[in-house]
Amino acid sequence: MTYLQRVQNVGFYGLVSTFRSWIYGYVYDDLIRKHLSERETFESLASRTDLWLYQSDTVLGFPRPSMPNMVPVGGLTVRAGAPLSKDMEDFMQSSGDDGVIVVSFGSMVQKMSTERKEMFAAVFAQLRQKVVWRDVGEKPTGLGNNTKLMSWLPQNHLLAHPKTRAFVSHAGLNGVYEALYHGVPMVCLPLFSDHPGSAARVQARGLGVKLDFGTVTSDELYQAVLDVLTNNSYRETAARLSRLYRDQPQTAMERAVWWIEHVIKHGGLPHLRARAVDLPFYQYYLLDVAACLLAVCSAVLGTVWCSCSLVCRKICCKAGGKLKSQ
């Protein structure tokens, strides 16, 4: 990361740490008091949590230190592909050797601006591949004959299909891990929340490319899709990462279930919980130690400075008195 990026990280982390307790408390405290106890809050509950399941993994994520009760379960929704409906299978097979591009911006994005939708439709119409696009809005006027609009997609099963060549997505976690599992390269256009981070990981790993949804032009989108389709490095990297991701003793779902049952079986796992959550912030960040060391260093330096100043004054006074007597 550049210096400015690291400054942004520090600033963002500081803001999140400052406002997280207030925001989470405002949203969840009433719910927790209603169903658990009047004395409980989000912070008190989180500090005693024995197990954390994280939507991450070592193939797509970056190495980082973690506690033993932090279990990576990235890819909970991935599974082997299932047969498609007859009309959907016929559409996939009609693509021939060119294949199909799957397009979805998630269930949270219900509508897209007309201008942006027309731009996407025009780009897809230029492609030789067939396109399956999840969209619930009005049909674009420039929609090509190669594009099929659907209000819902069997996304995992489409990505598992041998005719699928690329996945155009907002880089939601479920879609990213499904593409990783099935070895499908991606064109990411992140929207908000965790999307930019997921898209950055996809690009860093060579699984796909990242574009800005708000500013991308038709030429940029067309070139990005074409690059992912024609550059063999994306397909080869996707296949390699898929093999790495699949080569583990448990699936993400099996691992999550095992740990949950392990916690229930033993009535909690307090020996895995970090004691850092029980420390006040000044102890966690060693601010008291730093203040003590700073005070000691300041006292030593101050003593040395005063001693040197006193010696210098004595010497100057003796030299001045000797000159005066002469």
Into which CATH architecture does domain 86-246 fall? Answer: 3-Layer(aba) Sandwich (3.40)
**DSSP symbol at 209:** E
Cβ atoms 100, 129 nearer than 8 A: yes
Question: Which pLDDT score, from 0 to 100, does residue 136 have?
Answer: 84
* 256 in Cβ contact with 71 (< 8 Å): yes
Cα separation, 237 vs 60, in Å, equals 12
pLDDT, tens digit (0-9, with 9 covering 90-100), for 90-130? 999 999 999 999 999 987 676 788 899 999 999 999 999 99
How confident is the model over 192-216, as a mean pLDDT? 93
Instruction: Please name every residue paired with 186 in a beta bridge, in sequence order, or none if there are none.
Output: 167, 208
Residue 64 pLDDT grade (very low, low, confident, very high; cuts 50, 70, 90):
confident
For residue 28, name the pLDDT band (cuts at 50, 70, 90): confident
For residue 48, what are the contacts with CB-CB under 8 A and spacing of at least 6? 273
Round the average pLDDT of the chain to a whole number and report it: 91
Q: In the predicted model, is pLDDT for residue 326 greater than 60?
A: no
Are residues 196 and 190 in contact, defined by beta-carbon separation less than 8 angstroms?
yes
Lowest mean pLDDT among 89-93, 294-298, 299-303, 320-324: 320-324
Residue 122 CA to residue 142 CA, distance in Å, equals 6
- In the structure, what pLDDT confidence band is assigned to residue 199 with cuts at 50, 70 and 90? very high
What phi and psi values does residue 104 have, to the nearest 5 degrees?
Answer: -155, 135
Domain locations along the chain: 3-70+251-278, 86-246, 282-325
Q: Where are the beta strands (DSSP E) in the chain?
A: 52-54, 70-72, 100-104, 130-134, 147-150, 164-169, 186-188, 208-210
Q: How far apart are CA 124 and CA 132, in angstroms?
A: 10
pLDDT above 60 (res 272): yes
For the record, the structure tokens of 276 come out as: 């850092």
Q: What is the pLDDT of residue 18?
A: 78
Helix (H) or strand (E) holding 263: helix 252-266
| Angstrom distance (rounded) from CA 158 to CA 82 | 9
Query: How much is the pLDDT for 42?
Result: 85
Within a 13 Å sphere around the CA of 19, how many CA atoms are in the beta-carbon half? 7
CA dist., res. 98 & res. 86, Å (int): 20
Closest CA to 221 of 291, 119, 323: 119
Burial of residue 169 (CB within 10 Å: 0-12, 13-18, 19+) is buried
**Do the Cβ atoms of 168 and 101 come closer than 8 Å?**
yes
pLDDT range class, residue 15, cuts 50, 70, 90: confident
**How many Å apart are CA 159 and CA 103, to the nearest integer?**
10
Q: Is 322 a residue whose pLDDT tops 70?
A: no
Higher pLDDT: 287 or 27? It is 287
Dump pLDDT digits (tens) for 135-160: 887 889 999 999 999 999 999 999 99
Which pair of tokens denotes residue 232? Answer: 């063999």
Report whether pLDDT(323) > 60.
Answer: no
